Amino acid sequence: GAVLNPCCFVDFHSKSWTCPFCLQRNPFPAMYAEHISEVSLPAELLPACSTIEYILPSQCSPPIFLLVLDTAIIEEELDQAKDSLQQSLAMMPQDALVGFITFGAMVYVHELSSTALPKAYAFRGAKEYTSQQVAYQLGFGQKNPAGSGSQ
């Protein structure tokens, strides 16, 4: 699904936005569309509000967290990020679904379900992939899309 965030392209005329991750165009909900303008933005579109917490109804699916870490940082910052990630994981509900992606020269999608044999899917940072190619490599695709080949 699409994620409303500060990097989205907003079309104020049509009251819609485009997700930069999946390129899906979406209409704003009525309560946003009614008030949105270039000077009146919802918090999700403000660069200062890159982390937003939502209050969910008590009866919902397990929460899903996607953790993304830039590994092209100095060792001291990487150690601090590691500590923050460990604290975050410790505070998550036991039934939470967690995804972990690291990126530097390569992008790695880490599979967290197996503790015996860690597994990560690697994608070259300099190569462009279609969403179908990524889905296939992660095991979600139906067939091998043209040009997906090996990494």
Q: What are 8-32's pLDDT values in tens digits?
A: 889 999 999 998 777 789 999 999 9
CB-neighbour burial class of residue 19 (10 A; exposed 0-12, middle 13-18, buried 19+):
middle
What pLDDT does residue 19 have? 82
Please name the residue that has the structure tokens 């390129």.
23
- The stretches in the chain having pLDDT less than 70 are 1, 52, 54, 56, 114, 141-151
Q: What are phi and psi of 89, to 5 degrees?
A: -60, -40
Helix locations, the chain, DSSP H: 30-33, 75-91, 131-137
| Spatial separation of the C-alpha atoms in residues 78 and 84, rounded to whole Å | 10
Nearest-angstrom CA–CA distance, 84 and 67: 11
What's the confidence (pLDDT) of residue 21? 73
